[in-house]
Structure 1
């Protein structure tokens, strides 16, 4: 979707950011930022790599992982983080929605990489949530629009309405 905005095919998009460089002619406002966590079956044995509810990114290198599909912002930011840590993640399963990832993890098929979960959410899905540390990874969902050329009148109105709809919970993106 970001590429479509860059090429003028879309006026505005709600898109996940991967951490890849973004054209300077694109305006961005983050509407949601969340940490990524690793989710394992609730009854899975505690791995020595897990410590007090957390796991290092490097410790995920040898695990079978369950991730969102390629092209999503969360998958992109996760893969970029793994590459920076010196490994390619072993993606065993993909699904289009976090609840599906959690269902696969609850069945013991691997470690799901998902947005942060509350304890109640993790319990409801039958998983144990582990904070990914060293480094922590954050997914960001943002509004994106072309600034050069500036958006037309209809797109400006829509952008204003989206800002209102998100209750002022937007923040400019540092490039």
Structure 2
């Protein structure tokens, strides 16, 4: 069995099309077909079955795919470890984060890190709380920012790196729009624009309203901070957003009003897989992040 056969097999399995896989691999279709055929002969099983112009994995092919992907991932890690041993300033970091951090924080920290380590590459994945946890556990990412910190588990570890306040955002013509600060209970009769279920900010806002003595009336739901902010600015309701999501301004902005103490906040944690030794470049970036947040976001 050759490494090339595994690589061709995985590409065909992912694309479900021999020709498209060959184009992505920059080889002839016949070469891909020939290697897949040899692999099937060596294993003594059929890995694919024809479905029109596409191909589909057989049950045994699905089983073999998981193992083949694992072998190729282990090989990639081994090659990266050798490169990093020879030069710790190169390598790739796979980072996960929620959308609300991608507006300002992530570009800022990456730019500062790459100013010191210009040869390090990044691969990003955005997602909601459940998908980010899954990406960490399935080794799709090396590190992930997540909110809130997951409950204690043997599978992930990490630390809270940031606590930020949430602000009320209101249409510009709202009666409370020019107030320096308000009680959350003052919005009990308003319609709320919230993130849809699955986003970590939704339960934070929901529980804050409940603690203030009311259940929010939901008029609209969105998936991105820009959408929430735009709907509020358009007069569709009110909402709460973290300070970081409000740092980017535009010509179409809602009024931003501070909430009276104790206020509402969210925590941001940096997590990784527990019990696994990260690569040199990932450790370098992790240590940079811890120092960065201690330096720039430590409570005064």
TM-score (norm 1): 0.71
Aligned to 1:168: 292
Matched, 1:81 2:208: yes
Alignment RMSD (CA, Å)? 3.2
Aligned to 1:102: 229
Distance in 2, Cα, partners of 1:111 & 1:168 = 33
Q: Comparing both chains, which one has the higher relative contact order based on Cα–Cα distances under 8 Å and sequence gaps of 6 or more?
A: 1
Offset of residue 169 of structure 1: 0.9
Aligned to 2:19: none
CA contact under 8 A between 1:105 and 1:112: conserved in structure 2? yes
CA contact under 8 A between 1:73 and 1:140: conserved in structure 2? no
Distance in 1, Cα, partners of 2:185 & 2:261 = 8
With over 3 angstroms needed to count, the CA separation of the structure-2 counterparts of 1:55 and 1:27, relative to structure 1, is same
The match for 1:54 among 166, 172, 181 is 181
Offset of residue 108 of structure 1: 0.8
Count residues with an aligned counterpart. Answer: 160
Aligned to 1:16: 147
Flag the structure with higher strand content: 1
Say which SS state the counterpart of residue 87 (structure 1) adopts: coil
Flag the structure with higher helix content: 2
Structure 1 gaps of 5+ residues are none
CA contact under 8 A between 1:38 and 1:113: conserved in structure 2? yes
State which structure, 1 or 2, has the greater radius of gyration over its C-alpha atoms.
Answer: 2
Aligned to 1:152: 277
Matched, 1:143 2:267: no
TM-score (norm 2): 0.45
Say which SS state the counterpart of residue 169 (structure 1) adopts: helix
